[in-house]
Amino acid sequence: MKSGSSVYWPSTRSSNLGQIVKVDAEEKEVVIRYDQREVVYDFGELDEEGVPV
């Protein structure tokens, strides 16, 4: 996973398309932009493929 990559994953509630805007290995966080908002995920919130769970 790298900054600028687009990610897509289906979920039981909805399908989301987001763009990775930042990966911070030191803080162990990834920032994903959905439309006009950015969401910060801890690495522990990602599954084995790097998809938020």
CA distances from 30 to 5, 6, 19 (A): 12, 13, 11
The pLDDT, as a whole number, for residue 33 is: 87
Q: Distance (Å, rounded) from C-alpha 30 to C-alpha 24? A: 6
The pLDDT, as a whole number, for residue 8 is: 52
Mean pLDDT of 29-34: 88
The pLDDT, as a whole number, for residue 46 is: 79
The pTM assigned to this predicted structure is: 0.64
DSSP SS3 for 44: helix
Sheet holding 37-42, edge to edge: 6-10, 15-24, 29-34, 37-42
Q: Which residue has the higher pLDDT, 12 or 45?
A: 45
pLDDT at 42 over 60: yes
